Chains A and B, each alone.
Chain A
Amino acid sequence: ELKVEQNPLFLSMQEGKNYTIYCNYSTTSDRLYWYRQDPGKSLESLFVLLSNGAVKQEGRLMASLDTKARLSTLHITAAVHDLSATYFCAVARWEGGKLIFGQGTELSVKP
């Protein structure tokens, strides 16, 4: 059974600081996705990582994938308040195209 675990689950950081969110998954998969969710809102796609060593960057966020370690990271550089949200990673299961989601990391960026 594919399991996806994120850590930390809660992250309070100051503006301008750097931090990393980790996403571990338990079985082989070739697709990993990162999503952002604002309170009471739906999920917004951030990154799609399709191969080992893939790295993608958008603004202050950078995501990477290590399929051998079954690990993805979401790195936040010089955090700003607008990044406050809950971030989910999700891994595709081979059959049926189902995405299995991590628990989410609630990020709060304070001045």
Chain B
Amino acid sequence: DGGITQSPKYLFRKEGQNVTLSCEQNLNHDAMYWYRQDPGQGLRLIYYSQIVNDFQKGDIAEGYSVSREKKESFPLTVTSAQKNPTAFYLCASSIDQGTGQGRPTNYGYTFGSGTRLTVV
């Protein structure tokens, strides 16, 4: 079955450490996204990518970095510059039906199961 796989499910980060969250999809989707969710709040966009080797900052990109070397993969690195990284991180993907803009179509986004990151 096609889907999005995020790993690990739980991640603990020490102060000053960089950690990388994995996101892999086998849906052949063009666009991929990273969102952050804090307790009791909505989702905020960190980074997104519409095509391989290209990505854009979202609303809260500071302290994060991404890469998109393969269509299937969009890893997120939480760097030591992110001072409050404890949150639930969700990866999503959507198909671009030739609009060239990565607009989510009739199907919206498909979400991964999430990674819960905690600073220890």
Give Cα A95–Cα B103 distance, bound, in whole angstroms: 8
Give the residue of B45, B104, B111 whose beta carbon is less than 8 angstroms from that of A43: B111
Q: Is the CB of A103 within 8 A of B42?
A: yes
Q: Is the CB of A92 within 8 A of B112?
A: no
Using a Cβ–Cβ cut-off of 8 Å, how many residues does chain A contribute to the interface with B? 25
CB distance from A51 to the nearest CB of B (A): 11
Q: Is the CB of B108 within 8 A of A98?
A: no
Give Cα A15–Cα B77 distance, bound, in whole angstroms: 44
Q: Is the CB of A97 within 8 A of B56?
A: no
A residues 39-72 touching B (CB-CB < 8 Å): 40-45, 48, 50
Give Cα A92–Cα B31 distance, bound, in whole angstroms: 14
- Chain A residues positioned under 8 Å from B90 (CB to CB): 42-43
Give Cα A77–Cα B106 distance, bound, in whole angstroms: 25
- Chain B residues positioned under 8 Å from A103 (CB to CB): 41-42
- Chain B residues positioned under 8 Å from A94 (CB to CB): 101, 103
Q: Is the CB of B102 within 8 A of A97?
A: yes
Q: Is the CB of A42 within 8 A of B102?
A: no
The answer, yes or no, to whether A31 is at the interface (CB within 8 Å) is yes
Give Cα A88–Cα B108 distance, bound, in whole angstroms: 13
Give the residue of B42, B44, B48, B107 whose beta carbon is less than 8 angstroms from that of A96: B48
Known pairs A45-B108, A48-B106, A99-B104; A88 contacts B45 (CB<8 A): no
Contact string against A for B residues 41-73, beta-carbon threshold 8 Å, 1 for contact and 0 otherwise:
111110010100000101000000000000000
Q: Is the CB of A97 within 8 A of B43?
A: no
CB distance from A4 to the nearest CB of B (A): 8
Give Cα A33–Cα B41 distance, bound, in whole angstroms: 17
Q: Is the CB of A97 within 8 A of B108?
A: no
CB-CB nearest 7 A-B residue pairs: A97-B102, A97-B103, A101-B42, A101-B43, A33-B108, A103-B42, A43-B111
Residue ranges of B at the interface with A (Cβ–Cβ < 8 Å):
31, 33, 35, 40-45, 48, 50, 56, 58, 90, 94, 96, 99, 101-104, 106-114, 116
A-B contact pairs, 5 of them (CB 8 A): A40-B116, A44-B111, A94-B103, A96-B50, A98-B48
